[in-house]
Structure formats: structure tokens, C-alpha cells
Amino acid sequence: MHELLLNRDIYTRFLQPILPEAKRFLWIVTADIKDLHIEFQGSYQPLLNVLDELVRRGVSVRLIHAKEPGPRFRDDFDKCQALINSEAFERILCPRVHTKSVVVDGRIAFVGSANLTGAGIGAKHADKRNFEAGFMFDDRGDIDTLMQWIDELYLGEHCKNCRRREYCPDPIIDHL
């Protein structure tokens, strides 16, 4: 399967139905992250609640983003004890990240323009959303390549040659 998703379809075809169904792991890479809400368990909730519930169920969640989230995101995060206390939740900040991608259990992925924000990928009104495009796919070769690339980001493989080090608030690799 290789499906082009435009605008709200990113939410209705991928984020809302597929992301909460992760069984083993969920990897999210985004430049911007805000107080995104999605429909979950019968109501609209912060995405962080969904991630917290996944971690409680034993799903490993990895979040890579480029800048510090805003105060509402941080307030919601502080209520998510599984995200705070579990080693199953991994989060790094890299200011060079501009990619927007999600991998669910190594079986399905999304890559596109949408940040992890309400206007980009969330349950925001159609007349207030950004214009976004991306692809949902299940090609094993492409997913494996994407996962290897995300893993290299997470492990700091690019840190040793990074020329933006002075802008990095929380280096993945402290000593080079």
C-alpha cells in the first residue's frame, strides 16, 4: 500500500485510527510539537494522553522533535506519569530535525509535511488547518530504511559532524 494523504485525511486515515493501535512501538519525528488533540476512547484528548496510555500498555514510544514545546504541551506532559516515569518513553530534541514521520510497529508509516500540531495533523477544524500532504505506506524496505535513519538520529550519529552544535540545547552526545 502506498497512499497519498492530503489535509484532513492525514488525521482521519492515519493519525486517529492507526497511531493509537500501536502494539510494540511507535516512533514519531517532527520539527514542531504542540498541544495536539485527537479523538481517543470516545472524546478528544491531548495526544500525550494517548502516548501515556500506549506506554502503560507496554508500547515503546520514541519522540524526536526540533524545538521545545509550548506551555500547554508541557502542562499536559506533566500529567502523564507513564511518560515521565517509564523507560519505554524516549524523547530527544535536535534543532536540525525538520522531518515529519511516524512509524507504527514497523508495519506502517507516514512521511509528509505535517508537524505534530493541531493545524498540521490534529483534529482542528477544516477551515483552520494547514494545507498538508504526505504518504502512508507499508512497504517493508522503505520502512526499514526509514527506521534505520530514525535510529541514527536517535543515537546521535550525526552529532559528531554537526555544524549547528552551538544551537543545540540538549546534545544527544555530550562529548565529541
pLDDT tens string, the chain, 176 residues long: the values are 999 999 999 999 999 999 999 999 999 999 999 888 999 999 999 999 999 999 999 999 999 999 889 899 999 999 999 999 999 999 999 999 999 999 999 999 999 999 988 888 877 788 888 999 999 999 999 999 999 999 999 998 888 888 887 888 777 877 55
Sheet containing 60-65: order of strands: 2-6, 133-137, 108-112, 101-104, 25-30, 60-65, 89-93
The answer to whether residue 148 is domain-embedded is: yes
Nine cell digits for residue 127: 477551515
8 Å CB contact between 172 and 94: yes
The answer to whether residue 172 is domain-embedded is: no
The answer to whether residue 63 is domain-embedded is: yes
| Domain count across the chain | 1
- Rounded distance, CA 24 to CA 66, Å? 25
Residue 15: what pLDDT? 95
pTM of model > 0.75? yes
The answer to whether residue 174 is domain-embedded is: no
DSSP annotation string for 36-88: -EEEETTEEEEHHHHHHHHHHTT-EEEEEESS---HHHHHHHTT-HHHHH-TT
- Rounded distance, CA 64 to CA 149, Å? 12
Residue 166: what pLDDT? 81
- Rounded distance, CA 70 to CA 10, Å? 23
The answer to whether residue 15 is domain-embedded is: yes
The answer to whether residue 11 is domain-embedded is: yes
Residue 136: what pLDDT? 98
The answer to whether residue 99 is domain-embedded is: yes
The answer to whether residue 53 is domain-embedded is: yes
Place of cell 534505520: 148
3-state class (DSSP) for residue 108? strand
68: CATH: 3.30.870.10
Q: 7's torsion region: left (phi>0), alpha (psi -120 to 50) or beta?
A: left
Residue 175: what pLDDT? 54
Residue 153: what pLDDT? 92
Structural domain harbouring 90: 2-167
